[in-house]
Amino acid sequence: MIEDRVGPRRVRETSPVKVFAIAGAIILAGAAVYYLWPGSTPPPPPPSSTSTAPAPVVQHYAVATPASAEALPLLAESDAAVTDALKKLLGPDAVGKLLVPDSLIRNIVATVDNLPRDHLAMRVSPVNAPGGTFRTTGHDDSLAVAADNGARYAPYVTAFEATDPAAAIPMYLRFYPLFQQAYIDLGFPNGYFNDRLVEVIDHLLDAPEPKGAVKLVSPHVLYEFADPDLEARSAGQKLMMRLGPDNEARVKAKLRAYRKELVSQTPASAISVPRTK
């Protein structure tokens, strides 16, 4: 289904900026903090587990920058620092309008992990929903997403495009231990969040790019894509299509830049993450 809220017809609004929670929200949140804590400490391996499963093989290791004398805040106490840093980087108005300042890192990690799945959990959205309502045109067989619906998402796309991957990735790496901790706490004790991040970016880059009007149906309360192939796509890929063709192209271009920067941090061969005691 298309998740948005439309006049009398509901379509749960999950906000397209979750599309760039992968890079935008993650990187914006992790990035700005760098200005308060320059440098980085090497990210620790995942903690020990009572599971007998083998240690994970990391494909895209989060290589940290040189150590800093400044200690990272605890994950549960990181919101204030992240929010203050974002205000210095983006301005208080932008942060107030775009971000939900509670449990930012945990919600970013949960949203990233959900993007390739069928549904996104609204309660863990790291961003506020866009203003206005989901716009459609026509009715019955001609029902479609309105051409001007993409304008709702312009502030998010513009903010995402304004970030610099070459500067933002080192900032994300500075905070990587907290992202890894949040991923483990989410239920992946043998997982590696940076691998999941790259995987999700690839998944979003594979989102269809419909040409012309995107037809809809409304069999019940919620709108759905009329094309069964589009309707069968993940929540993240549906969000990409909802952005509109121009916004989708712009977001994908930026995601490619972030992916290139992330992968450039990866050693030539995958490494096993040893367990700690």
Q: Which residues of 206-217 are buried (b: 16+ CB within 10 A; e: fewer)?
A: ebbebeeebbbe
State the residue for tokens 């969000």: 239
What local confidence, expressed as pLDDT, does residue 268 receive?
43
The predicted model gives 182-210 an average pLDDT of: 95
Give the number of other CB atoms < 10 A from CB of residue 29.
28
Report which residue type is found at 12.
R
Task: Please state, in angstroms and rounded to a whole number, the distance separating the CA atoms of residues 24 and 64.
Answer: 20
The residue assigned the tokens 């210095």 is 88
Residue 275 has pLDDT above 70, yes or no: no
Region 99-103: mean pLDDT is 89
Q: Which residue has the higher pLDDT, 164 or 21?
A: 164
Query: What is the mean predicted confidence (pLDDT) over 190-211?
Result: 95
Q: List the chain domain ranges.
A: 5-48+60-267
Is the predicted pLDDT of residue 20 greater than 50, yes or no?
A: no
What the block records as the tokens of 233 is 């796509």
What band does 56 get if pLDDT is binned at 50, 70 and 90?
Answer: low
pLDDT tens for 103-150 read: 999 999 999 999 999 998 888 988 888 888 889 999 989 999 999 999
Average pLDDT value for the chain: 77
Of all residues in the chain, what percent carry a pLDDT higher than 70?
70
Whole-angstrom Cα distance, residue 194 to residue 208? 24
CA 262 to chain CA centroid, Å, is 14
Is residue 40 predicted with pLDDT exceeding 60? no
pLDDT in tens, 203-222: 999 999 998 889 999 887 78
237/243 Cα distance (integer angstroms)? 10
Of 25-39, 86-100, 196-210, 257-271, minimum mean pLDDT range: 25-39
Write down the H helix ranges in the chain.
Answer: 24-33, 79-90, 92-98, 104-114, 154-161, 165-174, 176-185, 193-205, 228-231, 235-242, 245-263
